[in-house]
């Protein structure tokens, strides 16, 4: 079954109908009827699909299913407590298979352990084109998409939605590059004290600097230049993150597995963080769950480093900058890894800044004015239920890393230790890697 047959629906008609429903020009039934006619009526049994075909179809049905559920629940808020009823008008194929059982069967056909509803993987990773990360002229990571085209499927076609999806995928690609370059140290195949490990940590720092930059650029991009409008994010985009069944987990950037993996690898001073991660396991793919569970059983990389160097962090925390400098001269690896952990903390800070700008601060303004909250998907918390105080705690926890005892020494001085360049020179860490979308390379995406 060529999924390209549904490109007209997923790239043109679905966004158009979503806009029409939101404008009040048509009702939810019109959306459901057209979705059924164009897509659902002739779908085959998922067992006959190859995994790649199933993944592409899952993207289309996932976004369409959330669109229909959003419209029905917004029209009748009582459906929030029984969201599965939103799918009653949707039947698949000549056998009129109910939508939710069909979707669950389709998810199984992807061969990924996908949940029986849309996910971060289907909405972002599979939806968008392949994201390729380059550093020093070399490809260091590639995060594939599932479609041959370079289109970005969105709910309404708004440029801000496209930009947000692109930010999420590019961010995950950079994060995957960081994690992949550090993995040989984490699994013990590369000695943390070696030059190879130091080079890997330096590259990871540069990758995180690139990640920080694209997030800052997104935050400062004006709507007239294609940036995301705050009201569109709160009132339109987020409102598609509805439940399909009670207590399921709608897609969210908080389910980015590479972000979670990096936290576990580099360490975060937050009691119960592993349990926090496990709460989103139902929304992840099986391979992602396996990687995260394996990392939970390992020591963090800063712990591995200090043990290998024979250093006691409790004692080092008692030292002044003058007392620490000889330690750093003897163990320059400390400077390398401190700069990496500081870069990671900045990522936590910029993510908090984005949620403050696009969600929590404008919602506080609405509350103060008496406008209140959205009745469908609350803007007083993240999609996965995380509220502002928790996000602040997590950002602070990333700053309280195991090498924080080096904070009395200026970063510029530690940079000199690492790069051996004179003060004021442009360090290699400022030559940032890049991440770009590339067209499909002709590989078999159906495997």
Residue of 117, 385, 59 whose CA lies nearest to 243: 117
Asked if 190 and 197 count as a contact pair (C-beta separation under 8 A), the reply is yes
H runs (alpha helix) in 297-370: 301-309, 313-316, 321-330, 333-355, 361-369
H runs (alpha helix) in 156-228: 159-186, 195-220
155 shares its domain with 60:
no
* Cα–Cα distance for residue pair 44/334, rounded to 1 Å: 58
Residue 119 backbone phi and psi in degrees, to 5 = -145, 175
CATH number at residue 411: 1.20.58.480
Asked if 295 and 265 count as a contact pair (C-beta separation under 8 A), the reply is yes
Tell me, yes or no, whether 127 lies in a domain: no
pLDDT attached to residue 172: 98
22 shares its domain with 153:
no
List the domain range (segments joined by +) for residue 93.
3-118
Residue 228 DSSP one-character state:
P
Tell me, yes or no, whether 411 lies in a domain: yes
pLDDT attached to residue 211: 98
114 shares its domain with 150:
no
Angle, alpha carbons 270-212-416 (nearest 5°): 90
Residue 143 β-bridge partners: 131
393 shares its domain with 297:
yes
* Cα–Cα distance for residue pair 306/209, rounded to 1 Å: 24
Asked if 44 and 1 count as a contact pair (C-beta separation under 8 A), the reply is yes
Tell me, yes or no, whether 446 lies in a domain: no
53 shares its domain with 148:
no
**How would you class 362 by CB atoms within 10 Å of its CB: exposed for 0-12, middle for 13-18, buried for 19 or more?**
middle
Q: Please give the biggest Cα pair distance in the chain.
A: 77
Look at the pTM and tell me if it is higher than 0.85.
yes
pLDDT attached to residue 420: 82
Cβ atoms within 10 Å of 180's Cβ, excluding its own: 17
Residue of 163, 126, 156 whose CA lies nearest to 12: 156
Strand boundaries in 69-108, DSSP class E: 91-92, 97-98
pLDDT attached to residue 315: 97
Residue 89 DSSP one-character state:
T
pLDDT attached to residue 384: 80
Strand boundaries in 88-127, DSSP class E: 91-92, 97-98
269 shares its domain with 415:
yes
Tell me, yes or no, whether 445 lies in a domain: no
Parallel/antiparallel/unpaired status of strands 91-92 and 130-135: unpaired
105 shares its domain with 139:
no
Provide the number of structural domains found in the chain: 2
Tell me, yes or no, whether 447 lies in a domain: no
217 shares its domain with 281:
yes
Tell me, yes or no, whether 395 lies in a domain: yes
pLDDT below 70 — which residues of the chain?
1-5, 421-430, 440-445, 447
Asked if 126 and 55 count as a contact pair (C-beta separation under 8 A), the reply is yes
Residue 90 DSSP one-character state:
-
Cβ atoms within 10 Å of 337's Cβ, excluding its own: 29
């Amino acid at each position: 079954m060529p999924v390209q047959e549904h490109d007209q629906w997923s790239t043109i008609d679905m966004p158009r109908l979503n806009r029409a429903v939101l404008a009040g020009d048509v009702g939810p039934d019109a959306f459901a009827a057209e979705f059924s006619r164009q897509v659902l009526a002739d779908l085959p049994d998922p067992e006959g699909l190859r995994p790649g075909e199933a993944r592409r179809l899952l993207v289309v049905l996932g976004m369409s299913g959330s669109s229909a559920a959003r419209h029905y629940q917004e029209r009748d808020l009582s459906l929030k407590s029984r969201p599965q009823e939103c799918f009653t008008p949707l039947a698949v194929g000549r056998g009129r298979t109910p939508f939710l059982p069909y979707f669950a069967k389709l998810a199984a056909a992807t061969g990924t352990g996908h949940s029986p509803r849309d996910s971060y993987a289907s909405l972002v990773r599979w939806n968008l084109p392949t994201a390729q990360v380059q550093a020093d002229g070399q490809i260091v990571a590639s995060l594939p998409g599932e479609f041959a085209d370079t289109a970005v499927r969105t709910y309404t076609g708004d440029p801000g939605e496209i930009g947000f999806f692109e930010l999420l995928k590019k961010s995950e690609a950079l994060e995957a590059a960081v994690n992949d370059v550090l993995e040989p140290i984490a699994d013990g195949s590369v000695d943390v004290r070696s030059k190879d490990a130091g080079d890997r940590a330096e590259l990871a720092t540069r990758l995180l600097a690139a990640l920080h930059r694209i997030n800052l650029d997104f935050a400062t991009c004006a709507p007239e230049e294609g940036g995301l409008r705050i009201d569109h994010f709160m009132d339109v985009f987020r409102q598609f993150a509805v439940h399909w069944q009670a207590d399921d987990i709608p897609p969210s950037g908080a389910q980015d597995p590479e972000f979670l993996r990096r936290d576990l690898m580099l360490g975060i001073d937050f009691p119960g963080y592993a349990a926090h991660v496990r709460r989103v396991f139902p929304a992840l793919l099986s391979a992602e769950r396996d990687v995260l569970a394996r990392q939970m059983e390992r020591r963090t990389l800063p712990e591995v480093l200090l043990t290998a160097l024979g250093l006691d962090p409790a004692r080092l925390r008692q030292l002044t900058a003058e007392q620490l400098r000889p330690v750093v001269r003897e163990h320059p690896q400390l400077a390398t890894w401190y700069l990496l952990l500081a870069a990671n903390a900045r990522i936590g800070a910029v993510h908090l800044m984005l949620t403050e700008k696009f969600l929590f601060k404008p919602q506080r303004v609405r509350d103060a004015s008496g406008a209140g909250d959205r009745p469908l998907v609350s803007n007083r918390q993240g999609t996965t239920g995380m509220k502002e105080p928790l996000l602040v705690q997590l950002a602070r926890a990333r700053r309280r890393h195991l090498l924080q005892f080096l904070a009395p020494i200026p970063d510029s001085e530690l940079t000199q230790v690492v790069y051996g360049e004179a003060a004021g020179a442009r360090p290699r860490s400022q030559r940032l890697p890049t991440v770009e979308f590339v067209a499909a390379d002709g590989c078999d995406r159906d495997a």
